[in-house]
């Protein structure tokens, strides 16, 4: 009776283990989800991150035949929610929506985090872009971005812009604009976007960068005027507003994006399934229309593309944070 050499037996065992792992992963993806899935939104209800997540979550729930619960866990610029997800069991039943602030700005802005931003999460897929609009109080003489640059250069530090707080994406959008245009515009930080918006409408400050979702209602009501879209293209919610680049301002593009992430260690088969289903959801015309109505753009990015986006924006904003000596600690 022929015998099998030790080397051959080891090779056969390795092949068997690999096949078992593949079968286990496939079975895991097929069985998942067998119960409700939670998507943590690290901000309060009603903002762009929350609304965009709910549009996608509703469709994922239909695809999966399971409830998808959107759990708002705001605080500390999103870090409270991220800490919860970082400590969650990596079984695919706790996911989260990250944006440019939580994934690309906070790792530099906050010197002490309870989690390691480089290793705590597994990117799954980007699902939306949230372009910012540069809005102005109605009394500002400038009617567009080009006129604003001319005005700011003629009157250094006389024009001011509001933000929801130092170090947030609206603040860094303003600093990006200043660097790109060589202007000196005074930053006025507020404790939250609501207070900033109130003073902008009252004319106590002249400018503000914020999401189209937050500002479009005031713009359409005539309480504010839009000077430019800070994203790559015009948005359906404000179709007549040109982009900064169309207005002759280059290198000042800013905004946010949304993407799903999972705790590190989540089975790859589950990560791949979620990404595949997100792609399917974003291809639905009604989803695209719902996101457009909120000033967002449906944008699918693979895990690798999403990871690269996080890294490139982190590098970009780290320079601005460092140069301005910003810190949230």
Element (DSSP H or E) covering residue 268:
helix 268-282
User: Could you give the 3-state DSSP secondary structure of residue 69?
Assistant: strand
Q: What is the pLDDT of residues 163-212, one digit of tens each?
A: 988 888 899 999 999 999 999 999 999 888 888 999 999 999 999 999 99
What local confidence, expressed as pLDDT, does residue 277 receive?
Answer: 99
Q: How far apart are CA 282 and CA 148, in angstroms?
A: 36
pLDDT at 25 over 60: no
Yes or no: say if 233 and 256 are a contact pair by the CB < 8 Å rule.
no
* Domain spanning 36-129+255-323, CATH architecture: 3-Layer(aba) Sandwich (3.40)
Maximum pairwise Cα distance, the chain: 96
Separation of alpha carbons 144 and 166, rounded Å: 25
Least confident of 3-7, 85-89, 190-194, 302-306: 3-7
Q: 207-211 and 160-163 as β-strands: parallel, antiparallel, unpaired?
A: parallel
User: Domain 131-229 belongs to what architecture?
Assistant: 3-Layer(aba) Sandwich (3.40)
Mean pLDDT of 114-124: 98
The two tokens of residue 298 are 């449906």
Closest CA to 48 of 292, 310, 303: 292
DSSP 145-206: HHHHHHHHHHSTTTSEEEESSTTSHHHHHHHHHHHHHT---EEEE-SSHHHHHHHHHHTSS-
Judge whether residue 50 has pLDDT over 70.
yes
Mean pLDDT of 52-79: 96
What's the average model confidence in pLDDT over 271-280? 99
How does the average pLDDT of the chain come out, rounded? 91
Residue 218 sits at φ, ψ, to 5 deg, of: -70, -35
Please tell me the predicted confidence (pLDDT) of residue 3.
56
Query: Would you state the pLDDT for residue 105?
Result: 95
| pLDDT of 18 above 60 | no
Element (DSSP H or E) covering residue 49: helix 48-64
- In sequence order, the 6+-apart residues with CB closer than 8 A to the CB of 160 are 185, 186, 187, 188, 205, 206, 207
Distance CA 282, CA 290 (A): 11
pLDDT of residue 140: 97
| Residue among 143, 20, 91, 12 at smallest CA distance from 264 | 91
Q: Is the pLDDT of residue 129 over 90?
A: yes
Residue 225 near residue 142, CB atoms below 8 Å: no
**Confidence band of 122 (pLDDT split at 50, 70, 90):** very high
Query: Could you read off the pLDDT of 244-274 as tens digits, one per residue?
Result: 999 999 999 999 999 999 999 999 999 999 9
Assess whether pLDDT exceeds 90 at residue 291: yes
Q: What is the pLDDT of residue 191?
A: 81
User: For position 193, what pLDDT does the model report?
Assistant: 83
pLDDT recorded at residue 158: 96
Q: Are 242 and 250 in contact (CB under 8 A)?
A: no
By DSSP bridging, strand 121-137 and strand 255-263 are antiparallel
| pLDDT, tens only, 293-325 | 888 999 999 999 999 999 999 999 999 899 888
pLDDT at 2: 52
Where does CATH 3.40.190.10 sit in the chain?
Answer: 131-229
Strands 94-99 and 207-211, bridge-based pairing: unpaired
Tell me, what's the pLDDT at 20?
Answer: 52
Confidence bin at 47 (pLDDT 50/70/90): confident
How far from chain centre, in Å, is Cα 138?
A: 29
Per-residue pLDDT of 221-237, as tens digits, reads: 999 999 999 988 899 89
What percent of the chain shows pLDDT beyond 70? 91
């Amino acid at each position: 009776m022929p015998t099998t050499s030790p080397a051959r037996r080891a090779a056969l065992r390795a092949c068997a283990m690999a096949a078992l792992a593949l079968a286990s992963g496939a079975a895991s993806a097929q069985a998942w989800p067998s119960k409700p899935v939670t998507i943590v939104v690290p901000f309060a209800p009603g903002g762009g991150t929350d609304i965009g997540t709910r549009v996608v979550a509703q469709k994922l729930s239909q695809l999966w035949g399971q409830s998808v619960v959107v759990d708002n866990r705001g605080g500390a610029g999103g870090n409270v929610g991220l800490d919860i997800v970082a400590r969650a069991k990596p079984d695919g039943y706790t996911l989260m929506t990250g944006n440019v602030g939580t994934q690309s700005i906070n790792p530099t802005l906050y010197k002490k985090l309870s989690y390691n931003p480089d290793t705590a999460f597994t990117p799954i897929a980007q699902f939306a872009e949230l372009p910012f609009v540069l809005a102005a109080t109605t009394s500002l003489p400038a009617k567009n971005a080009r006129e604003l640059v001319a005005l700011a250069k003629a009157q250094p530090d006389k024009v001011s812009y509001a933000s929801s707080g130092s170090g947030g994406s609206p603040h860094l959008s303003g600093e990006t604009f200043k660097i790109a245009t060589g202007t000196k515009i005074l930053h006025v930080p507020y404790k939250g976007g609501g207070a900033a918006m109130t003073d902008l409408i009252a004319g106590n400050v002249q400018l503000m960068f914020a999401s189209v979702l937050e500002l479009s209602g005031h713009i359409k009501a005539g309480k504010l005027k839009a000077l430019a879209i800070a994203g790559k293209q015009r948005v359906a919610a404000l179709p007549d507003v040109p982009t900064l680049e169309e207005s002759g301002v280059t290198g000042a593009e800013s905004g946010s994006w949304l993407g799903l992430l999972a705790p590190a260690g989540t089975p790859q088969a589950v990560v791949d399934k979620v990404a595949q289903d997100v792609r399917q959801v974003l291809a639905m015309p009604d989803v695209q229309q719902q996101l457009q109505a909120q000033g967002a753009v449906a944008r699918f990015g693979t895990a690798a593309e999403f990871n690269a986006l996080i890294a490139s924006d982190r590098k970009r904003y780290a320079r601005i944070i460092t140069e301005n000596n910003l810190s949230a600690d």
